[in-house]
Amino acid sequence: MTPAKSLILTCLVMLAVVVASPVAIAGDSFALRARRILPVSPDLPWVIEGGVIVVRAGRIAAIGRDLDLPPDLPVVEFPDGVVVPGFVAAASELGGRHRGDESAAAGYRAVDAFDRYGDFAETLAAGVTTVHLDPGTHRLITGQGAVVKLGGPPADRILRARADLAVNLGPGVNNPPPEVTYPFPASADVAITPPIPQRPASRMGQPLALNEAIEAALAGTRGDPPSIHPPALAQAWNDKLPVRMRADLAADLLAAVRLLRDHQRAGYLVGGLEAHRAADAIREAGVPLVYRPGDPVRALGNDIGTDPNAPDTSASSPRSLQGLQLAVASPVGQPLADLRLAAVRQAHAGLGPQRALEAITRVPAEILGVADRVGSLAPGRDADFLVLTGDPLDVSCHVQRTYIAGRAVFEPPAGGALVVKAAVVWAGPGRQIRDGQILAENGKIVAVGRSVPHPPLARVIDVRPGGFVAPGLIDGHGHLGFLGDRTEVGNDLRLAGLVGVADVTDRRLSAAGVTTVLTAPYRISAMGSPCAVIKTAGSRRDDRVIRDPAAVLFDVRQTDPLAVQETLSKPLDAGKKYLDAWNKYEKDLKEFLEKKAKGQTPQDSQGSKEEEIKTPSGPDPVTGTWEATVSGVPTPEPITLTAGLQLIGSAVEGRVLHSSVGATGRISGTFDGKHLSAEIEVDVPGVDTPPKLEVDLVGEDHFQGTLTVMGITAKIEGRRVDKSPVDLKVVRTRRRTRGKDGRPLPPKVDESLEPLKALWEKKIPAVVNVSTAAQIREVLSLLVEKHQLRVTLLNAEEASVHAKTLAEKKIAVIVPPDVLRQRRYRDYHQADELARRGVPLALQSNAEDGARNLPAVALYAVERGLDAEAALEALTLGAARALKIDDRVGSLEPGKDADLVIFSDHPFLGGGRVLKTVVDGKEVRP
Amino acid sequence: MNARRVSIAVVLLGLVVADGRAAPPAKVALQGGRIIPVEGEEIAQGTLLIENGKITAVGAQVEIPYDAMVVDVSGKVLLPGMISPHTWRGLDRANENLPVAPYLDVYDAIDPSSLAFEDALRDGVLAVHVIQGDSCVIGGLSRLVHPIGRTPDEMTIRPAIALKLSTSPRSGFDRMSQMAAMREAFFDLGVYLEDLAETRYEAELKKQEKQIDVPPEEARKRGRELIRDEDLDDKHANLLRLIEKRLDAWIYCGAATDVAPAIGTARENGFLERSVFVLGVDAYRAVDELKQAGRPVVLPPELVHQERDPITGELRETFVPKVIHDAGLLFALQPDPDASLAERYLTYQAARCVRRGIPREAALQAITLNPAKMLGVADRLGSLQVGKAGYVVVLSGDPLDFNTWVEQAYIDGILAYDRAKDVRLQELLGLEEKAKKAADAKTAKAEEAKKVEEEKKEGEKKEDEAKEDEGKEDEKEKDEGKEDEKKQEKQPELPQDQPSPPDGEEP
């Protein structure tokens, strides 16, 4: 070939390509790569492993194994998907049946009955994309069939509006009702004609009636009154529409074959329950058969009985139909969604997987005359195909996506069931399943094992032959969401407020496999600080928060070991007192309800009359007039104020008598001997929450502390100038302890004590930031030995000193991220050392989105000697146990949250990287 | 025209509004109201002049003829009479049990005393397109009427507007039978016309004393032009008018999938350019096909379509008029007479459209001008423009405000409705007042009885009582005087009874 010629040829080819492909519509052009493609095309190999389909403008442009991906097209990846052509149902009841009485009525068109705007999601979910519509099977000639698609733009759904002439043979078409013609206008001139009986009445009459109708139509009969049916029959006959012969019994099948031969017509058989008895004749005539198996799996128990002539509907074994051009359709009256099941059953019965798949794709498309559009995957055909979760004839496989003309018309709904299959499922320490599967439904794990249920519409993630599935990784201590804010956080704050829709920061973590974090404030209050356990993915706060408060944090790192117990006791005692109040209330309430149930009248609540408030006579550390200075406020000068206070029992009442900003107000609070905490009710517009006073008596007549106004905390310092009681006209009413009917009233809810109450109730652990061995000793002695609370140590650099106790009592240590320490001039790794001695471990990032490096932290620990299994445990179940959230996360067990990470291999042994992260059963898109 | 108008005797709500013998006022000037002409700019305060039933002037400054009856409508809003574009109300039943019956006519069934018309008037609907229901293949002729008159003839604005067709299956039919019957009807017409043409050609030759000289096909072709209207039988006459584009077709499409067959039927038989599509609630989904056909549509009374995803169960809602409006189609809104809720008011339907993002003007046109265009009466109805007929609604406020009511309605310049004289409405609204009055009367009686008893007991204070009685009588007299005054004030409110004589021409 000369260069010129080849150039011309190239140009021509390019021109042809340009002409052939109309303007590409967005969404209809893409390349799809799947694990396996079964094109079912005679010109292509049966299986294309790792194949690519290029779709342009709704048609297949190329298909093959080693195709270059076109740079202009988006690539859809289905690394675990199997692609097959959309299934073609060559028979259906979708069109219903027309209600006409005419025995030969070719004028009815099944296409009229098709809802082009219909939503056939349930059928598309079963992979059926192309369907033949029948005008009915109840008369000899019922009309003209149609071939349609079940999805895509309504205007493109009809493949063939007049596909065939529907002829039905069999006992069902005998004895049609006589034809009645109503005269119009009803007058003396128009005779009322008697009803005209219609043929056929028997099998003999069927060919007769058919031939009669055809001859009459071809002779140009128009009927009286004029009817559309004879001209329609003539037109169908002249257009040589294929004749669709519906017959089930052997004699009818033989008659159908004979009729086709006598009239020298192209056509095919539909039904064929007894095809095995007429198999030779059908094979000889070379007539294709659309076989509708007779044993509906949805309605068993079709007893044949003793009638020797009753057809055995399950008898047509595919073996006897060898050599026929055979398509399989769903059983009569059963949903179209059963098509694949029908093929599977035929495959099992001896048809073989290859012919069974052909029988619901290429062969029916050929029979219906639409093979140039659908039924197989080849360049030029419509991009109608399915992405399956497995082999099409594997019963448990499902449709992952259905395409019609390159548009996804069905996808399993997000948030439904999810099945993950991988080479290794690491369900928890010591529970490793080879070739394992996990089923998640509604965000929870339902089953883990070698084989799990595959509910319909389940999404499937199949990463075999590789893949290592582990529970989502947990950061034992971090600060996600604080954005560097180092404000001290009190126990009354709920950190769930930090969480919203997962954002880019959260996605960084989930992409690294970290699905759960403990988020804690940077600065911890002396009364303890709350922390929350949240997930790194999710679109709603409620879904993302696992527990809030999740633990009470204490920091005794800087505290003298001798003061540790005292420091911790203050908040603990307050919490205990609060818990006791509630316990008492609950006990009282229980007693009250029991008494009430027994019909006893509860004690008279008015009996405990309000007590007189006695003003203590002697001088006390509070009562008197105080002058105070507030500094650190955004005013030019420090605020000075004068207040009168009075101590009544442990309550403090008082007034701001004068202040430099002009505001005065009522002071009410409590005094515990050293600490005074009070609220100031001021009448200043804009100050909605009363300013809070927290001061300590630092010396006689001298206090120091903080004043919080509208979120701003300022320092306050005051001195007593006069000890004589100020006349405040205090009217205090004792809080009622009982309701009207004697029912005990609940104590006031104190948000700042709620976490401590939960701690005492052992619902949440105390996480104590400690460093030295002495501090650890004090903490253990107070919290564990004395109070028997749940404790987890944070950092605890010298934990190895107490390793034995920690291991015995199963007290976990959240080791710091800077893990390498030195002892006697030698490096050692704390995690390794603790793990060897049986101390439960968790790892932490001590960072915000820095938690994404948590796997690297673990990897380093492994490099320094930590057992890889122990490292994985520390990141999952170990951390979950340390934070007492192992009822929700930490391992892959039924009932737990479906949070999992799919690595390409073991993250520490095999160098596996994160392939996918699943949170609450939903794949997290990076 | 004038004679017909004069002959219109309006029996309305049991009240004779216009006397059959007295001529309606020749000239009416509605002065001082806000005028929403629907076509053109709104006039904040203007005058609408109707002379001999026709609008002769609209504007802020209108010279009122000296002999015109002036009605002060200041503070009120004038809107063209609204049009109910598609209803079978006014008939006894929606459908006949014949699938193909183009020879029927709603004229034979319109009941002038039907409450549907009274309701229409009360709601400001001054033209009603009465048409057969949707359960048919080919139905009968429709008719545009106004809701006043004693006979269908008196009510008629325009007869024989359209034939009703439906591509959605009528009851007892499936879609295949429906379309087969539709095709058969036109096939039958073709066969009939061929036969008739042949006969006509033969007859024509016979007249010329010739023998038939051409093959039947040629004879049919030649005879086709010889067919006269009087040759046709009832069964085929209207269908022939339809395919000859002398009639409109209003085709009901209950579902989206019925739209393409409807357009196909109209196109194949040559009457697409005279078709109007009446849509069911989900038919809007075929908006692309409708857009291509470019024909007007009548929207369903239910304006929101809800559909549920078969797999997820998710509910999706679509506001139908927005889709149609965005497609640029001419559309009309229907009231829902069965709705106990506000859907039965056209103004409410229009207000919903505005709320969902359709411009106010378009929404108002959808209840006035658009249906007038579809019905071929846009030269007479649908807007307040000079030259059009005097179909005017006087509203108490903005038409799209739900607190607005119809004060008055003028049909051909005649006061056809006055809320103050709407007996049924007043009855309904007055019930409470009546009950209160009755209760008051009862207590008054009881008090009187008590007083009588007291009188018997205390016979001493007779003098004082006598004084009181005198006082009471004085009061009574005063009240009577007031009532007289009121009567005098009210008189000018009945101008149609007694047209106020021109100044200075006191008889």
Measured CA distances, B397 to B74, B78, B355 (Å): 11, 9, 18
Average pLDDT over residues A149-174: 94
Q: In terms of Cα–Cα distance, which of B300, B265, B266 is closest to B282? A: B300
Q: Return residues 405-444 of A near B (CB < 8 Å).
A: 413
Residue A16 burial (CB count, 10 A): 10
Nearest residue of A to residue B174, measured between CA atoms = A98
CB contact A117 to B (< 8 Å): yes
| pLDDT score at A686 | 65
Residue A236 maps to a domain: yes
Domain count, chain A: 5
Closest chain A residue to B234, measured at CA: A185
**Amino acid in the structure at residue B28:** V
Burial class for A362, CB neighbours closer than 10 Å (0-12, 13-18, 19+):
buried
Rounded Cα–Cα distance for residues A568 and B286 (Å): 73
CA distance B335 to chain A (A): 26
Q: What are B166-207's pLDDT values in tens digits?
A: 999 998 899 999 999 999 999 999 999 999 998 999 888 888
Decide: residue A483, CB within 10 A, 0-12 exposed, 13-18 middle, 19+ buried.
Answer: exposed
Secondary structure tally for chain B: helices H, strands E: 14, 22
Q: What confidence score (pLDDT) does residue A148 get?
A: 97
**H-helix or E-strand spanning residue B473:** helix B462-490
CA-based nearest distance B176→chain A, Å: 5
Q: Which of A713, A692, A714, A695 is nearest to A704 (CA)?
A: A695
Please state the φ and ψ torsions of residue A108, each to the nearest 5 degrees.
-75, 140
Does A744 reside within a domain?
no
B186 touches chain A (CB under 8 A): no
Residue A21 confidence (pLDDT): 36
Please say if the pLDDT value at position B6 is more than 50: no
Which B residues in the span 53-112 are in contact with A, Cβ-Cβ below 8 Å? none
pLDDT of residue B323: 96
The answer to whether the Cβ–Cβ distance between A117 and B173 falls below 8 Å is no
Measure A116 CA to nearest chain B CA, in Å. Answer: 5
Does the beta-carbon distance from B311 to A143 stay under 8 Å?
no
Asked if residue A261 and residue A146 are part of one domain, the reply reads yes
Contacts of A135 in chain B (CB under 8 A): 176
**Cα B62 to Cα B49: distance, rounded to the nearest angstrom:** 8
Residues A221 and A339 in one domain: yes
Average pLDDT estimate for B464-475: 51
Nearest C-alpha in A relative to B100: A184
Q: What is the pLDDT of residue A793?
A: 94
Q: Is A590 a domain residue?
A: no
User: Higher confidence at residue B24 or residue A469?
Assistant: A469
Is B282 in CB contact (< 8 Å) with chain A? Answer: yes
Query: Tell me, what CATH number does A839's domain have?
Result: 3.20.20.140
Residue A16 pLDDT: 40
- The CA distance from A202 to A171, in Å, is 7
* CATH code where residue A912 lies: 2.30.40.10
- Which range has the worst mean pLDDT, A305-309, B328-332, B494-498? B494-498
Same domain, A158 and A72: no
| Separation between Cα atoms, residue A58 and residue A382, nearest integer Å | 6
CA distance A734 to chain B (A): 54
- A187 vs B17, more confident: A187
Cβ atoms < 10 Å from Cβ of A66:
8
- Residue pointed to by tokens 């098709």: A114
Q: Encode pLDDT of A100-141 as tens digits.
A: 889 999 999 999 999 999 999 989 999 999 999 999 999 999
Q: What is the pLDDT, as a whole number, of residue B24? A: 61
Please tell me the distance in Å from B114's CA to the nearest CA on chain A: 31
Is B291's Cβ below 8 Å from some Cβ in A?
no
Give the pLDDT confidence score for residue A682 in this predicted structure: 75
> Does B234 reach chain A within 8 Å, measured CB to CB?
yes
Same domain, A287 and A346: yes
Residue with tokens 């004229």: B107
| Cβ distance of B173 and A99 shorter than 8 Å | yes
* A672 and A714 inside one domain: yes
Has domain B1-81+382-444 been given CATH number 1.10.260.40? no
Partner residue opposite B176 with nearest CB, options A119, A143, A154: A143
Same-domain pairing of A452 and A356: no
Asked if B233's CB is within 8 angstroms of A99's CB, the reply is: no
Chain B CB contacts of A113 below 8 Å: 174-176
Statement to judge: residues A462 and A478 lie in one domain: no
Residue B10 has pLDDT above 50, yes or no: no
Q: Could you tell me the residue ranges of all domains in chain B?
A: 1-81+382-444, 82-379
The alpha carbon of residue B117 is apart from the nearest alpha carbon of chain A, in Å, by 33
For an interface test with A, which of B168, B175, B176 has the most A Cβ atoms less than 10 Å from its Cβ? B176
Chain A nearest CA to B126, separation (Å): 37
Mean predicted confidence (pLDDT) in A137-164: 95
Give the pLDDT mean for A805-828.
81
Is there a contact between A798 and A771 (Cβ–Cβ < 8 Å)? yes
Res A618: pLDDT: 57
Whether residues A230 and A344 share a domain: the answer is yes
Residue A454 shares a structural domain with residue A481: no
Nearest CB among A115, A154, A228 relative to B180 is that of A228
Rg (CA), chain A: 41
pLDDT in the model for residue B21: 40
pLDDT of residue B348: 95
Instruction: Answer yes or no: is A252 within a domain.
Output: yes
Considering only residues B157 and A503, tell me which one the structure prediction assigns the higher pLDDT: B157
Is A46 inside a domain boundary? yes
Tell me whether residue A619 is in a domain.
no
Q: State the angle between helix axes of B175-207 and B216-224 in degrees (0 to 180), rounded to the nearest 10.
A: 90
Residues A580-621: pLDDT tens digits?
Answer: 989 988 998 888 888 888 877 655 444 444 444 445 555 677
Interface test with B, best of A111, A120, A149, A228 (most B CBs within 10 A): A228
> Cβ of B187 and A228 within 8 Å?
yes
Mean pLDDT for B447-457 is 82
CATH topology of domain B82-379: TIM Barrel (3.20.20)
d(CA A63, CA A53): 4
Shortest Cα distance from B334 to chain A (angstroms)? 24
B72 residue type, one letter: D
Q: Is the pLDDT of residue A279 over 80?
A: yes
Tell me the one-letter amino acid at B3: A
User: How does DSSP assign A70-90, residue by residue?
Assistant: PTTS-EEEEEEEEEEEPEEES
Rounded mean pLDDT of A172-186? Answer: 83
3-state secondary structure B288-347: HHHHHHCCCEECCCCCEEEEECCCCCCEEEEEHHHHHHHCCCCEECCCCCCCCCHHHCHH
Does the residue A10 lie in any domain?
A: no
Reported confidence tier of residue A454, pLDDT bands at 50, 70, 90:
confident
Q: Does residue A506 lie within any of the structural domains?
A: yes
Looking at per-residue pLDDT, the higher value among B434 and B130 belongs to: B130
pLDDT in tens, A625-637: 888 888 877 777 7
Hey, are the CB atoms on B235 and A98 less than 8 Å from each other? Answer: no
Q: Nearest by CB to B180, which of A100, A116, A222?
A: A100
A162 and A285 fall within a common domain? yes
The verdict on B171 touching A (C-beta cutoff 8 Å) is: no
One domain, residues A135 and A154: yes
Same domain, A842 and A704: no
Domain coverage including residue A37: 23-86+375-398
A97 interaction partners in chain B (CB closer than 8 Å):
174
